Amino acid sequence: MSTTVPAWAAADSYADALRTGRGPLFLRRDDGWLLPLEVERWCARADRVDLTVLDRCEGAVLDVGCGPGRLVAELAARGRTALGIDVSETAVARTRRLGGQALRRSVFEALPGEARWGTVLLMDGNIGIGGDPRALLDRVARLLAPDGLLIVETAPVDVDERARVRVVGIADGHAGGSPFPWARLGTPALLRYAHGWAKVDQWTAGGRRFAALRSRTASSSAEPPKRTAVISSQRTRKPSGDSPVANR
């Protein structure tokens, strides 16, 4: 695992917001434009809109950028195998307190269960991670099992934007944390970048927009990922079959 702490994770305002469960918190571009972050919703229980996503999940679920863990905790409560990853130590700790499994890890680092996850989630705008949607989609394709499912929450407007942003709270003013690359995509832009993927579904719920994709390069004859996965936060285990294995 890389020892470099990403700027998002190092932002004091982000950690403080997750600890308290309250904002205000924003992504701020260099030109001063602010994108509000929905901290209160992230720190609450999974809502009815989230459930439209979780009901579609298949097999073992990897939540990329899980934040404070509402989705992982809900899946765990349902008896589903799920793992959250996040670069924020505070986010991972909160997810574990809720009863979910989580690792402090970047999606671009080595992960447990490579090529064996049934579903990968990119919720709450996390298609923007790294500022390069094509690279992120390629990475997710390598994480999924054959015929695996990717569910993406896109921007509620038709946008295709790259920017360097900072995480800021009201007290941060114009300083904030260190800048990092981010992207915002609406559903049309996502589908333009999704070469090698087939659209399974797209829907709108509660003013939020989602798309489900499946890789066209996956073998259609492969067995769907229905086996139970094993997740351990205590020690490494030898993978068995298609079962993802998580380790600290």
Q: Which domain CATH number covers 149?
A: 3.40.50.150
Which pair of structure tokens corresponds to residue 5? Answer: 């702490």
Range of the domain at 110: 46-161+182-246
pLDDT, tens digit (0-9, with 9 covering 90-100), for 222-243: 333 333 343 433 333 333 344 5
Q: Is the pLDDT of residue 169 over 90?
A: no
Residue 248: count of CB within 10 angstroms of its CB: 14
Q: How many domains does the chain have?
A: 1
Q: Is residue 90 part of a domain?
A: yes
Task: Give the pLDDT confidence score for residue 103 in this predicted structure.
Answer: 98
Q: Is residue 51 part of a domain?
A: yes
Strand, helix or coil for residue 51: helix
Mean pLDDT is highest, among 86-95, 174-183, 211-220, for 86-95
> Which of 120, 118, 82 lies closest to 99, judged by CA?
82
Q: Is residue 210 part of a domain?
A: yes
The kind and range of the H/E element at 63 are strand 61-64
pLDDT, tens digit (0-9, with 9 covering 90-100), for 7-52: 555 558 889 999 999 999 999 998 999 999 999 999 999 999 999 9
